[in-house]
Structure 1
Amino acid sequence: MNISRMKVGTRLGLGFALVILAGLAMALIGSVQLFSIKRDTALLVEDRMVKANQFGEVSVHINTMANSVRNVLLSNDDKDKQAERQRIVDARAQNNALLQQLQGSVRLPAARAQLEKIDGIRSSYNAVVDRIIALDAQGRGDEARSLLRTEARPLLGSYFAALDGAIQAQQEDMRKLAQHTEGAASSTAWLLAVIAGLAALVGAAVAWLLTRSIVRQLGGEPDYAASVAREIAAGNLAVQVQLRAGDEHSLLAAMRAMRDSLAQVVSRVRQGSESVATASSQIAQGNQDLSGRTESQASALQQTAASMEQLGSTVRHNADNARAANQLAQSASTVAAQGGSVVAEVVDTMRGINEASRKIADIIQVIDGIAFQTNILALNAAVEAARAGEQGRGFAVVAGEVRSLAQRSAEAAKEIKQLITDSVGRVEQGTQLVDRAGSTMQEVVASIRRVTDLMGEISAASGEQSQGVSQVGEAVQQMDQVTQQNAALVEEMAAAASSLSGQAQELVQAVGVFRLDSGHGRVAPAPRPAASAPLSARGAAPAAARPGAASLATPARRPAPPPAIAAQPVAAKDADDDWETF
């Protein structure tokens, strides 16, 4: 892991982290040892010492019982004896409670063995005491005293010996715990001292390494690096930066490289600012020429727009006439169509009349045939009547009348047939004439429809032509507006170029504050060319002279920038030569 490539914050963080880890290790070890000491001390104070004191209390109560038994035997007063007996009962009860508590809490094997022995002796001793109290109550004092000497005293000695053994076992364990606690405290103190020494050494090493890496990365003292930075910020690019031998990657080395690079950039800026000023002056002069030509083009476009407006008016008038003629042709076509419909209805009516006349002729022919048959029948009847003689005379008269009527009917039928035939012929001629009239009306309607279609096409073409002329006029107007806007933009570009020239001069003066050494040299600022008149007044006069200019909105001119800076005479001549072919 390369420490020199780390961030300063990371290095300091790692150093402090090591020191903090050492402190945490000390705190952790000390806490563990202190917890062990606390546990042993608590065991010593709260268990071993308490158990030893409880065994001592049992010994005191046994001694109290022994004294009370002796006092019972020595006293002659019944009240005193009764008080001593009660004291024996109380001491025995307290012993029983203490021994029962010890039975449930003692954990040392040696103390546990002594406690079992105490429990056995306690039963025997209590029984002997009860016998002594009973003998004394019976007035058998000598036997009671004898029993006290022979049995009670040996049991009492064993009782005390067992209690002393239990107390010594507790005390022995207390001494061991005390020695262990003292050893743990001593070892903890030595261990913490060693860890503290190591932490101090690690902290010192980390501080030395961090200081060394930061100083090497800076390349020198921070105050020296700050003074060099202040000199460069003040524009002194000739300041000397002292470096150690072989130092190529420190902050001071980077600052020296920055100083050299900045000196080169400033030198190039000084050399290029004069070229920028000259080129901007030439651009300004060329933009002035372009502005004049653009204004001339705008004037021509305004005149073209006026002509397109007149042409559009004429085309719109023609389109209106074509639409009116189209409407008249459509009306005539409608009337002709209605006439054709009426003629068609007349033709249908004449055809119906012709068919009815033919049917009447057929009926008349049938009537003529019936009259002929009636005449024949009447003739036959006359013949038969003539044969009959006188008897058939009346029938012959009737047959003659019938024959006469049949003949008149036949003549009338012939006349009607002739009239119907003539009528049918005339109806057929009228039908033919009406058919011809219907055909003629259909041709007229078709012709009028063709004329109407042609007028519709002429009207549509006139409308499209009017729309196209309007679009061309709008395009010309837009071109006029765009040309005027271009003229305004060209003027602004000329002013901007002049302003750029002035700013280039200001840049030369601004770069002049940097102090360079003799290796980079100095470039004197170029002199400012004379300022020319602004062009913002151009472009308005041609628009006012154009006919119909009220319908075209002249774009608003923006305020003119600062006056343009004229180029040198030779540069202006070159610009004129270049812009001749625009």
Structure 2
Amino acid sequence: MTVNQRLTLGFGLLLGVILLISLFAWRSLEQSDAAMKTIYEDRTVPMGQLGDIRYLATRDRVILAEAAHSGDATQAAQRLEEFSKNRAQANTTWAAYMATYLTPEEAVLAKKHLAEMGAYVDQGLMATAEALRRADYDGARTLLDTKVSTLSPAAQDSLNALLDLQVRVAKETYDDASATNRSRLTLIIALGVASGVLATVMTLLITRRIGGQLGAEPHELAAIANRIASGDLTLQTALRAGPQGSVMNAMLSMRQTLNDLVHMVREGVDSVATASGQIAQGNVDLSARTEEQASSLQQTAASMEQLNTTIQSTAGNAQN
């Protein structure tokens, strides 16, 4: 596997872990946002709606009591007009509440409250309002003391049960979201630690592998290569052998090979110089011997000439 492939694999794994952590973090934030949204939309808003309904029910009882005890037709008319507006607002608010998400338990409580509040409003408040419209103030007071007082606690209790449920379910939703966030945070931390360990291991492995292949630091290799290129082969002490197959080891082998080659060339040059000297000395010796032989020949020729002269002289004497 090449260095580029190792680096790509290492950083690819690290990037994958980072993306996984990001995905978990994004998912955790999304779930937290959903939990906060449901707490607001399905619990906080309904809590406000139920609070408004409870306030309107209490307010209607108060204004009807004021109208019944005042005995004044004008004041009664004003209170009845406010009562009608309150009832319309209460019905609208209840419809909006029923449009929110209801848990199974909440649906049962809502059905119960609707029946009890319906009895409280129809048999108590509406009946009292009708008596006031007829100017039957005594009848209105009687209804307030009997029907309204009797039916109010059940309607209020069921309404309070719905309000308590909102608080309890909101807390449960928050606790579930917190537990999920804690577990995801633990997982994110674990993945972060794992990515750190993975990055450290990959860095050490890649560094060790590349360092093993180089056998030295890049700037050291560059300096040594430049020295060898300039003809400096005296690097035995400065050059340390790297692992087998490393660039440093190859440069050591190259330096040794070049050094051996230079020695071989130098020895060859010395041999040629020695042979040339020997040839020159042989030529000198040959020249000397040639001169000696030439001198001997001259002496021989002189002797022959002298002998010839002697012979001729002897022959002449013999003829005489």
For residues 169 and 211 of structure 1, do their structure 2 counterparts lie closer, same or farther at Cα, with a shift above 3 Å needed? same
Counterpart among 236, 241, 244 of residue 243 in structure 1? 241
Counterpart among 79, 85, 105 of residue 84 in structure 1? 79
Assess if the C-alpha contact under 8 Å between 1:243 and 1:253 holds in 2.
Answer: yes
Assess if the C-alpha contact under 8 Å between 2:67 and 2:75 holds in 1.
Answer: yes
CA deviation after TM superposition for structure 1 residue 11, in Å: 1.9
Which residue of 2 is the match for residue 134 of structure 1? Answer: 130
Assess if the C-alpha contact under 8 Å between 1:111 and 1:165 holds in 2.
Answer: no
Gapped regions of structure 1 (runs ≥ 5): 1-5, 268-515, 527-582
For residues 407-452 of structure 1, give each alpha carbon's deviation from its aligned partner in whole angstroms, at most 9, with x where no partner exists.
xxxxxxxxxxxxxxxxxxxxxxxxxxxxxxxxxxxxxxxxxxxxxx
Assess if the C-alpha contact under 8 Å between 2:43 and 2:170 holds in 1.
Answer: yes
Distance 2:132 2:24 in 1: 68
Distance 2:41 2:137 in 1: 46
CA deviation after TM superposition for structure 1 residue 261, in Å: 4.8
The reply to whether residue 144 of structure 1 matches residue 153 of structure 2 is no
Structure 1 letter corresponding to 2:61: A
Which residue of 2 is the match for residue 219 of structure 1? Answer: 215
1:524-539 aligned at under 5 Å gives the runs none
Which residue of 2 is the match for residue 97 of structure 1? Answer: 92
For residues 493-535 of structure 1, give each alpha carbon's deviation from its aligned partner in whole angstroms, at most 9, with x where no partner exists.
xxxxxxxxxxxxxxxxxxxxxxx3x455266699xxxxxxxxx
Which residue of 2 is the match for residue 196 of structure 1? Answer: 192
Distance 2:144 2:269 in 1: 136
Distance 2:211 2:69 in 1: 100
The reply to whether residue 14 of structure 1 matches residue 12 of structure 2 is no
Assess if the C-alpha contact under 8 Å between 1:22 and 1:195 holds in 2.
Answer: yes
For the pair shown, the structure with the greater C-alpha radius of gyration is 1
- Aligned partner of residue 156 in structure 1, secondary structure: helix
CA deviation after TM superposition for structure 1 residue 176, in Å: 0.2
Assess if the C-alpha contact under 8 Å between 2:14 and 2:198 holds in 1.
Answer: yes
Distance 2:145 2:187 in 1: 62
Which residue of 1 is the match for residue 266 of structure 2? Answer: 521
For residues 126 and 138 of structure 1, do their structure 2 counterparts lie closer, same or farther at Cα, with a shift above 3 Å needed? same
CA deviation after TM superposition for structure 1 residue 126, in Å: 2.8
Counting matched residue pairs gives 268
CA deviation after TM superposition for structure 1 residue 173, in Å: 0.7
For residues 520 and 257 of structure 1, do their structure 2 counterparts lie closer, same or farther at Cα, with a shift above 3 Å needed? farther
CA deviation after TM superposition for structure 1 residue 186, in Å: 2.0
Distance 2:184 2:250 in 1: 52
Which residue of 2 is the match for residue 157 of structure 1? Answer: 153
The reply to whether residue 207 of structure 1 matches residue 203 of structure 2 is yes
Which residue of 2 is the match for residue 48 of structure 1? Answer: 43
Distance 2:146 2:71 in 1: 22
- Aligned partner of residue 235 in structure 1, secondary structure: coil
Assess if the C-alpha contact under 8 Å between 1:51 and 1:106 holds in 2.
Answer: no
For residues 249 and 74 of structure 1, do their structure 2 counterparts lie closer, same or farther at Cα, with a shift above 3 Å needed? same
Assess if the C-alpha contact under 8 Å between 1:219 and 1:243 holds in 2.
Answer: yes
The reply to whether residue 110 of structure 1 matches residue 108 of structure 2 is no
Which residue of 2 is the match for residue 61 of structure 1? Answer: 56
CA deviation after TM superposition for structure 1 residue 238, in Å: 4.8
Distance 2:202 2:67 in 1: 85
Which residue of 2 is the match for residue 333 of structure 1? Answer: none
CA deviation after TM superposition for structure 1 residue 55, in Å: 0.9
For residues 39-63 of structure 1, give each alpha carbon's deviation from its aligned partner in whole angstroms, at most 9, with x where no partner exists.
1111111221111111111111111
Distance 1:106 1:119 in 2: 17
- Aligned partner of residue 231 in structure 2, secondary structure: coil
CA deviation after TM superposition for structure 1 residue 83, in Å: 1.0
For residues 115 and 16 of structure 1, do their structure 2 counterparts lie closer, same or farther at Cα, with a shift above 3 Å needed? same
Distance 1:135 1:47 in 2: 39
For residues 243 and 519 of structure 1, do their structure 2 counterparts lie closer, same or farther at Cα, with a shift above 3 Å needed? farther
Distance 2:214 2:50 in 1: 77
CA deviation after TM superposition for structure 1 residue 124, in Å: 2.2
The reply to whether residue 73 of structure 1 matches residue 71 of structure 2 is no
Structure 2 letter corresponding to 1:521: R
Distance 2:55 2:252 in 1: 95
Gapped regions of structure 2 (runs ≥ 5): 273-320
Distance 2:11 2:264 in 1: 48
Distance 1:21 1:140 in 2: 81
For residues 191 and 85 of structure 1, do their structure 2 counterparts lie closer, same or farther at Cα, with a shift above 3 Å needed? same
For residues 426-479 of structure 1, give each alpha carbon's deviation from its aligned partner in whole angstroms, at most 9, with x where no partner exists.
xxxxxxxxxxxxxxxxxxxxxxxxxxxxxxxxxxxxxxxxxxxxxxxxxxxxxx
CA deviation after TM superposition for structure 1 residue 262, in Å: 4.9
- Aligned partner of residue 51 in structure 1, secondary structure: helix
Assess if the C-alpha contact under 8 Å between 2:119 and 2:151 holds in 1.
Answer: yes
Distance 1:138 1:215 in 2: 104
CA deviation after TM superposition for structure 1 residue 260, in Å: 4.5
CA deviation after TM superposition for structure 1 residue 97, in Å: 0.8
Structure 1 letter corresponding to 2:7: L
Q: Percent identity?
A: 22
For residues 519 and 149 of structure 1, do their structure 2 counterparts lie closer, same or farther at Cα, with a shift above 3 Å needed? same
Distance 1:237 1:138 in 2: 126
Distance 2:224 2:267 in 1: 22
Which residue of 2 is the match for residue 230 of structure 1? Answer: 226
Question: What's the TM-score, normalizing by structure 1?
Answer: 0.43
CA deviation after TM superposition for structure 1 residue 191, in Å: 1.9
Distance 1:57 1:115 in 2: 15
Which residue of 2 is the match for residue 38 of structure 1? Answer: 33
CA deviation after TM superposition for structure 1 residue 252, in Å: 1.4
Distance 2:65 2:224 in 1: 107
Assess if the C-alpha contact under 8 Å between 1:263 and 1:520 holds in 2.
Answer: no
- Aligned partner of residue 521 in structure 1, secondary structure: helix
- Aligned partner of residue 266 in structure 2, secondary structure: coil
For residues 363-405 of structure 1, give each alpha carbon's deviation from its aligned partner in whole angstroms, at most 9, with x where no partner exists.
xxxxxxxxxxxxxxxxxxxxxxxxxxxxxxxxxxxxxxxxxxx
Distance 1:146 1:81 in 2: 16
Assess if the C-alpha contact under 8 Å between 2:71 and 2:137 holds in 1.
Answer: no
Distance 1:62 1:139 in 2: 22
Distance 1:116 1:102 in 2: 12
CA deviation after TM superposition for structure 1 residue 190, in Å: 2.0
Counterpart among 171, 179, 192 of residue 175 in structure 1? 171
For residues 80 and 140 of structure 1, do their structure 2 counterparts lie closer, same or farther at Cα, with a shift above 3 Å needed? closer
For residues 38 and 138 of structure 1, do their structure 2 counterparts lie closer, same or farther at Cα, with a shift above 3 Å needed? closer
